[in-house]
Structures are given as C-alpha cells and as structure tokens.
Chain A
Amino acid sequence: MALTITCPVCGKRNGYEFKFGGEEKGPRPEEKDLTPKAWCDYVHMNQCVAGVQKEWWFHKDGCGSWFTIYRDTTTNLEKEAGLANHQEADKS
C-alpha cells in the first residue's frame, strides 16, 4: 500500500498497519428529538469528498489508538492539517 499515515503516537508508518474508520462525522447524536432518518444519515451517509477529507484511522498493528488525519482522496496522500483546513476554508 502506497499510503502512509501519521499516527500521533507512533509517527509516519505504512498504511498496511492501519484500519480505516470512515469519514469524520462528529460524535453520536443526542437522544432528544432524534428521528430515525437523522440516525440513519449519521450512521450510513457519507460526503465522499473528491479532495481533502478528515477521516478516522485505527493503528491496528501498532499502538491501538483511533485518530483523524486529512487525506486527499484523489491522490491518496496524507495532507498537513493546516493545509487541509486552509483548503476547506477556501471552498466555503
């Protein structure tokens, strides 16, 4: 796997060592006023960005922590957090 991922504990490592945990969607919704549709959207709907997205990874063959990175889905390259934020800001 050409992808490398920077684990906050172990540093930059081969993508083999990690497991994908989906897009960053924020914490579980609150119980109050939760509709089945809102719940379903939270669990199943994705943005599928063609560009830089914030996403979760698990260091399976390492320290065993969950963390987020920014990755350009078009090049499969990890991006610096600052850069990604900048690009997100540009879009909005």
Chain B
Amino acid sequence: MASHAIEVKNLYKIFGPQGKQYVDQVKAGLGKTELNEKHGHVLGLQDINISMPAGGVMVVMGLSGSGKSTLIRHINRLIDPTAGEVLYDGVDVCKMNENDLREFRRHKTAMVFQKFALLPHRTIIENTIYGLEIQGVPDAESRKRAQEWIERVGLKGFENHYPNQLSGGMQQRVGLARALTNDADILLMDEAYSALDPLIRVDMQTVLLDLQKELKKTVVFITHDLDEALRLGDKIAVLRDGKVIQQGSGQDIVLKPADEYITAFVKEVNRGRVINVETIMKPLSGNPEGIPVVIGTVLEAAARMMTVSNHTTAHVVTVDGKAVGSIDLSTIISAMVTPIGHEPALQAAE
C-alpha cells in the first residue's frame, strides 16, 4: 500500500461550550490567558499548519499542555476541531459523516496509546485482533495475521496471557502489534513510549525504526522527549501553548533553533547523533584523503569509523561514490562539543 501524506491546515481548537464564536477573536490576536480569564474557554490549538510526509515519521514534540495530544486526536477525529482542516487524500477528515469516519478509522488509521489502553479482559491475541474483529474479518484469518505481528514485536509465547500479566514494555508491544495488525496506512502514536523505562524505550524505538524501514507507513509520533524526536523523526514540529514554533528536520531544529525556548531545549542534546558530516565538511581541496564517509552519516558514527581505522582525516562522498568534501577528527569533535550557528542565542539562554 502506498502511503499518503496528511495535511493539517489552519487548525484551531478552543475547548469550551461556545468555542466557535471565539475563533475570529483568536485569529485577531486574542491570547490564551486572556481567552481563559475573560471567557472561560481554553485555547488548545492555534493555527496549526503541518504537512506530514507520506511514508515518513512525523514527530510532534512539546511539553505537557502544549496541545500535542490534542493535535494527534484531530487526525482520527477523536476530538473535533473548532476550525480548520485535516486532509488525507484530499478528503477533509473533519467533514466526514459518522459512517465515513468509522470506516476511515477502521481502515486508514491505527493508534498506539501512552497508557497502552489494552482490553484487560482479553488475552494478548484477542487484543491484537481487535481492529480486525470490528472490521468483520473472519476469526481464523485475523488470528493468523495477529500471530505474525505478535511474533514480529517479540511476544511469541505470550498469546494467551492477559495484559496484566505483562510488564509495561511488553504491554506496549501488544499495543504496537494491535495497531500494526490493522494494516492501516496511518500509524498514530500518542506518547507511546513515554511510560516506559529509558532502556526499554530505546529498544522500542529500534523496533519501530526497523519496522518502518520495511512498512513505510505515515507515522505521527507524539513525544516530550527531544532525543526520541531526533532519533525517530524524519520531520519534527515543536509545539508550545498550542502553536507550532518550529518545524523541520532534526538537524534544522538543533542547528537553527527558532527561539530561546527551543535553544534551551536542544542544549542538552547529543549533537554527535544529530548532525551529519556534510553539514560541517570543508570543500574538497586537492585529492580526497583518508577513509570515505557517505553523506548522511552522523558525526558520532563518522568519528567511530575514523578512530577504528586509525585515520584523522576523511572525505565525504555521495551515495554513488563521488567525493564532495573533506573532514577531520578535530572538526568533528569541535562540532560535537560546541554549538554551531547560534552561540549568541545559547549564551543568552544561559
């Protein structure tokens, strides 16, 4: 199945009984605090415009209260927007009638939840087939498909256990298997890994990345963890107080933070795992020296390769082997330890 992009356009969400009538005022500049104090309504999302890449992982990052969970719930319309559009294949999800919406949820989306949200009275396999069961897929067929995914996420042998008998990490594997069994194009992951231990979290990120290489689904991943965002995201949007304050690739965010808020955020990031070699390479002068490093390699990996092969210099090559730049170990190390391009902003933030 070819994946499709999701377009979020001018999306507003105002919580409260008369949300609709304040949209224009918010558009004209009414602030979140003011709206709450004067009118008792809460501004959830404000003028969200994101184009989520087809077949890629879109990470929406923000701290609690930033509206990220509200945003993801607009994609399968667990929450109705106050204004704006969510387009998938040119169809506005927000305008679907009840039947179309149900069909859309059944066949196009699958969701993984922060607190797993498994059915406690059903075994692992019965949980995994849930999506297919409500679609009306015959039991034998859905069990066969569910079994494959249970094995893929590493839960073989636990099919007949109940969720309560598993650890958090294993329960979330069930959540993932349940979503994947649905074989939907869009995978929505609402802080799916936030409740897990750090080690298990990294483990689960690897599971997702491995699967994604092969499945190429349109994944929308919500997190409050920048490291997670950088590791998973083909594209990242940073949300604050219901507004997108920056969107772009992980490198963009780390190298060119839009404001002090993001600067403070990216300060603690392991830059060696985010910045690519081509970003800091010097133009090629003379013959390529040392070992070749392919474009897109992160600094940490390049440094490791150079150390292992005992070189202090390397040249950057394109995928088809053409040398385009040179790089040496000291540049790499200095790029890993010092921020590039936004020193003044960083100092201001400190």
Q: Do A and B come from one complex?
A: no
